[in-house]
Amino acid sequence: MIDSVFQAIGLGHAATLLALSPPGWGGALLYGLWNSLQIALGAFGVGLVIGLAGASGKLYGGPVTRDLLAVYTTVVRAVPELVLILILYYAGTDALNKLLVSLGYARVEISGLMAGIGVLGVVQGAYATEVLRGAILAVPAGQIEAARAYGMPPVMVMRRVTLPLMLSNAIPGMANLWLIATKDTALLAIVGFAELTLRTQQAAGTTKAYFTFYLAAGVLYLMVTLVSERLFALLEARARRGQPSLKEGAA
């Protein structure tokens, strides 16, 4: 009876369909997952860099910088990622090449990977700016004042005092951003980049075993999420070592 239920929902041949080497699609899905993770890592990294710059700009920059950054974060956080991806993917590469050509350089071929990382990185950067800004603001003011009283230059204050203290506050927000990055890579399927969701769509379309492949992809994404959450929990515990314990939900 279980067999017929599995047959009915298309999972009957799951073992053969998901085999690691062709004609099983398991290997293709794993390769797609690897691509997704690469893009997510790249985008997360780019987002971190933009976020640090943005947070510093919003906190310590002049009025013009603050306003421009406010426009950037508001627009990126209000417009759907799909629309942003389309605009940046086609318009961005087009504009970049036009700029290079007008400056006298040759057109540069931007691979799908780079474009995906760039686009998602810009989106992540806006969220990271807000997370890091909140984390820096949560650093006790007394610590920074004491460091300044010692005569430390601003970069040294940032490096030795602010960043280490901000880390433990930033990690939950950054963990969230990492998970958003891994799931946003699925949107790149709509621009045809060969990551996990697109490979799943191709596999499902070719073999007609829709349930099997979408469930398999769901399991893969879920595993990435669970492993990431575990890793970030360990990271946060390490960053919070020595601080008074903060039990969540305490009234």
CB proximity list for 178: less than 8 A, separation 6 or greater? 40, 44, 228, 232
- CB 171 within 8 Å of CB 232: yes
CB proximity list for 38: less than 8 A, separation 6 or greater? 113
Beta carbon of residue 234, minimum distance to other proteins (angstroms, whole number): 18
- CB 46 within 8 Å of CB 184: no
Stretch that binds other proteins, among 147-155, 166-174, 178-186, 234-242 (CB under 8 A): 178-186
Give the span between the Cα atoms of 171 and 176, in whole angstroms. Answer: 8
Binding status of residue 42 toward other proteins by CB under 8 A: yes
Binding status of residue 162 toward other proteins by CB under 8 A: no
Binding status of residue 58 toward other proteins by CB under 8 A: no
Q: Which of 111, 159, 160, 237 binds other proteins (CB under 8 A)?
A: 111
Binding status of residue 50 toward other proteins by CB under 8 A: no
For residue 243, the tally of other CB atoms under 10 A from its CB is: 9
Binding mask 15-34 for other proteins (x = CB under 8 A): -------xxxx-xx--x---
- CB 134 within 8 Å of CB 168: no
Count how many Cα atoms sit within 13 Å of the Cα of residue 119 in the half-sphere of its side chain: 28
DSSP state of 195: S
Stretch that binds other proteins, among 111-119, 152-160, 161-169, 238-246 (CB under 8 A): 111-119
Stretch that binds other proteins, among 84-92, 139-147, 162-170, 230-238 (CB under 8 A): 84-92
Beta carbon of residue 103, minimum distance to other proteins (angstroms, whole number): 14
Sign of the CA dihedral running 11, 205, 27, 85: negative
Q: Which of 2, 141, 246, 251 binds other proteins (CB under 8 A)?
A: 251
Name the residue nearer to other proteins (CB basis): 147 or 199. Answer: 199
Binding status of residue 53 toward other proteins by CB under 8 A: no
Report the SS3 class of residue 240: coil
Name the residue nearer to other proteins (CB basis): 158 or 224. Answer: 224
Binding status of residue 99 toward other proteins by CB under 8 A: no
